[in-house]
């Protein structure tokens, strides 16, 4: 099946982790670094996203995030299509900004 804007997905991870103690800060930092190692990029503070070429690929990365979940805090995982992502409007103050670039996928067939 060819890639299209309805098959390509974006996985978003939202989190609010406790950071009151040194151990909690370390845990929060480790979680953030590990999801970044898996290819997630910061979209906003405590919101990270990753481009996935298919549902199967998205499921792999969602499972990895679930294995990293800390024992405390609030974490949300949401998957949206590339079409939905492309309809988002972004602003910095009143100035409209463009969406992040979609990573280019090498197609072999």
pLDDT tens across 3-27, in order?
577 789 999 999 999 999 999 999 9
DSSP string, 24-87: HHHHHHHHHHHHHHTT-EEEETTEEEEEESSHHHHHHHHHHHHHH--SSSEEEEEEEEHHHHHT
> Which parts are annotated binding residues?
16
Query: Is residue 67 a part of any domain in this protein?
Result: yes
Residue 94 within any structural domain of the chain: no
Tell me the whole-structure pTM to 2 decimals: 0.83
Q: Which residues are annotated as a binding site for Mg(2+)?
A: 16
pLDDT reading at 70 higher than 60? yes
In tens, the pLDDT along 20-61 reads 999 999 999 999 999 999 999 999 999 999 999 999 999 999
CATH number for the domain spanning 67: value is 3.30.70.240
Range of the domain at 82: 9-87
């Amino acid at each position: 099946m060819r890639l299209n804007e309805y098959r390509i997905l974006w996985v978003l991870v939202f989190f609010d982790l406790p950071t009151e103690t040194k151990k909690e800060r370390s845990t929060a930092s480790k979680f953030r670094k590990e999801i970044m190692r898996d290819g997630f990029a910061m979209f906003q503070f405590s919101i990270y996203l990753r481009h996935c070429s298919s549902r199967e690929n998205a499921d792999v990365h969602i499972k990895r995030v679930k294995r990293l979940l800390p024992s405390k805090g609030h974490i949300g995982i949401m998957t949206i299509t590339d079409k939905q992502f492309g309809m988002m409007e972004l602003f910095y103050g009143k100035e409209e900004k463009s969406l992040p670039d979609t990573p280019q996928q090498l197609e072999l067939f």
